[in-house]
Amino acid sequence: MATVTLQNISKQFANHTAVATMNLTIADGEFLVLVGPSGCGKTTTLRMIAGLETPSSGNLFIGETDVTHREPKDRDIAMVFQNYALYPHMTVRANLAYSLRLRRRPREEIARRIEETAAMLEITALLDRYPRQLSGGQQQRAALGRAIVRQPQVFLMDEPLSNLDARLRAATRAELIQLHQRLKTTIVYVTHDQVEAMTMGSRIVVMNDGVVQQVGAPLEIYRRPANRFVASFIGSPPMQFLQGTVNQTGEQVSFTGRGFRLKLSSAAPEPVLAGEMILGIRPEHLVWEPAGQEDGTGIPCVVAVVENIGSEALIHTTTAGGEGLIIKMINPERTPLPGENLTVKPGPGSIYLFTVPDGVCQA
Ligand code: ATP
């Protein structure tokens, strides 16, 4: 079983906490993505799993074995980094063979495993080339091949696609997903790219400032973000926030923002929310109509800029209180014009409320 367990793992560098106490069990065969902004501690976490960094506290298990104090080479893991780390003076074949030779595998077995891996990654025709004779994408596949050929218990990948151009990155992303479906090996994957995290991960760990913010399946994190940080990190364009207060009159709960009042529901959620709050709404959950009578179902806005790329359009608007609000339209037939007055309406069940100042999601 290639489960990976982090038990009270933390890492301090001098006075700086790179990773605060972290508890996480990565299931056998899982594709787990660590995601967060630069400096949030994801690489340090991966390097501790790899054995390249010693935890300041806690224990690390691979399967049932405590590997906290084991050398990287004794952990049965393979790593793929953003710089492909192929040996430049060796052909792709020799690069793939290297770790198997170190392990003194029989010559026939080495040849067979290289052929199988190369076929899977479609690099058979490149086996006798040197890294300098390969494109970035081909080098990336060769580096993946070098990791795969070892048949490790766990793959650790740190931004392996970040040096590829957008088209190749999307293609390689799909290849990696397929590869995982075929090999079913545990993968721990680090990225700062939320699209990679959403599309590749069976589970995502969102980190900020060395602290795990939320762990969950991609859609769970998108639909039920634990706090404002997660809500603004997952989703594109990100969730937008409006300041105001929640008040209740009789059965009616409403949100009073700068220059608008929005009815939230007819029955008060439990516990009753009241006072200063931040309202969160995703651009894809907003619809618009020409400005009309204000009845508490929409926010009056004026259009500033329209960006239309055919399949979708972003309508940048400004509220009466001067806050920006973007509407994302899919396959737009008609977009409003700059200067036009609109009523912008949230779709059913699409409003989030966050506490001030902690930013914890309440509804
Ligand atoms: P990036 O996406 O930029 O790689 P990251 O989320 O992977 O960022 P880490 O590399 O894990 O972040 O770094 C976490 C924090 O620890 C950062 O503030 C970084 O400056 C610090 N840090 C990392 N390695 C060391 C080190 N060897 N010595 C001191 N501080 C370090």
What's the topology of domain 240-355?
OB fold (Dihydrolipoamide Acetyltransferase, E2P) (2.40.50)
pLDDT at 80: 87
What's the topology of domain 4-233?
Rossmann fold (3.40.50)
Is the Cβ atom of 87 under 6 angstroms away from ligand 1?
no
pLDDT at 188: 97
Residue 220 has pLDDT above 60, yes or no: yes
Residue closest by Cα to atom 24 of ligand 1 = 44
ipTM: 0.94
Beta-bridge partner residues of 79: 156
Contacts with 95 (C-beta within 8 Å, 6 or more apart), sequence order: 86, 87, 131, 142, 145, 146
Is the Cβ atom of 39 under 6 angstroms away from ligand 1?
yes
Residue closest by Cα to atom 31 of ligand 1 = 13
Cα 307 to ligand 1 centre (Å): 36
Say which residue, 118 or 250, is predicted with more confidence.
118
Is the Cβ atom of 36 under 6 angstroms away from ligand 1?
yes
Is the Cβ atom of 13 under 6 angstroms away from ligand 1?
yes
pLDDT at 273: 67
Determine the atom of ligand 1 nearest the C-alpha atom of 44: 11
Tokens of 336: 């409003």
pLDDT at 177: 92
Burial class (CB in 10 A: 0-12, 13-18, 19+), 312: middle
Mean pLDDT (the chain, rounded): 92
Is the Cβ atom of 37 under 6 angstroms away from ligand 1?
no
pLDDT band at 209 (very low <50, low <70, confident <90, very high): very high
Tell me which amino acid residue 211 is. Answer: V
pLDDT at 1: 64
Cα 165 to ligand 1 centre (Å): 25
Cα 209 to ligand 1 centre (Å): 10
pLDDT at 266: 54
Q: What does the alpha-carbon distance between residue 207 and residue 215 come to, in Å, rounded to a whole number?
A: 9
Average pLDDT over residues 157-170: 84
What are the backbone dihedrals phi and psi of residue 346, each rounded to the nearest 5 degrees, phi first? -75, 140
Is the Cβ atom of 160 under 6 angstroms away from ligand 1?
no
Q: What does the alpha-carbon distance between residue 214 and residue 156 come to, in Å, rounded to a whole number?
A: 20
Is the Cβ atom of 132 under 6 angstroms away from ligand 1?
no
pLDDT band at 316 (very low <50, low <70, confident <90, very high): very high
Pairing state of beta strands 57-62 and 240-249? Answer: unpaired
pLDDT at 121: 83
pLDDT band at 77 (very low <50, low <70, confident <90, very high): very high
Beta-bridge partner residues of 61: 5, 66
Find out whether 117 and 153 touch, Cβ atoms under 8 Å.
Answer: no
Determine the atom of ligand 1 nearest the C-alpha atom of 41: 11
Work out whether the CA dihedral 69, 145, 29, 23 comes out positive or negative: positive
Is the Cβ atom of 58 under 6 angstroms away from ligand 1?
no
Is the Cβ atom of 317 under 6 angstroms away from ligand 1?
no
Work out whether the CA dihedral 268, 273, 275, 277 comes out positive or negative: negative
Instruction: Go through the chain and tell me how many residues it has.
Output: 363
pLDDT at 35: 97
Within 10 Å of residue 323's Cβ, how many Cβ atoms?
Answer: 19
Best CA proximity match to 28, nearest among 74, 65, 63: 63
Is the Cβ atom of 332 under 6 angstroms away from ligand 1?
no
Determine the atom of ligand 1 nearest the C-alpha atom of 14: 29
For the chain, what percent of residues have pLDDT higher than 90?
73
pLDDT band at 162 (very low <50, low <70, confident <90, very high): confident
Tell me which amino acid residue 45 is. Answer: T
Residue 328 has pLDDT above 70, yes or no: yes
What's the gap between Cα 114 and its chain centre? 32
Cα 43 to ligand 1 centre (Å): 7
pLDDT band at 113 (very low <50, low <70, confident <90, very high): very high
pLDDT band at 73 (very low <50, low <70, confident <90, very high): confident
Question: Would 4-233 and 240-355 be classified into the same CATH topology?
Answer: no
pLDDT band at 135 (very low <50, low <70, confident <90, very high): confident
Q: Kindly list the domain boundaries of the chain, sorted by start residue.
A: 4-233, 240-355
Is the Cβ atom of 359 under 6 angstroms away from ligand 1?
no
For the chain, what percent of residues have pLDDT higher than 70?
97
pLDDT at 81: 80
pLDDT band at 89 (very low <50, low <70, confident <90, very high): very high
Residue 353 has pLDDT above 80, yes or no: yes
Q: How many CA atoms lie within 13 A of 55 on its CB side?
A: 25
CA triple 249-250-252, angle to 5 deg: 65
Please write the tens of the pLDDT for every residue from 267-276.
555 555 678 9
Determine the atom of ligand 1 nearest the C-alpha atom of 45: 11
pLDDT at 170: 86
Output the pTM of the full model.
0.90
pLDDT at 169: 84
Residue 219 has pLDDT above 90, yes or no: yes
pLDDT at 84: 65
Best CA proximity match to 143, nearest among 198, 193, 88: 88
Cα 172 to ligand 1 centre (Å): 26
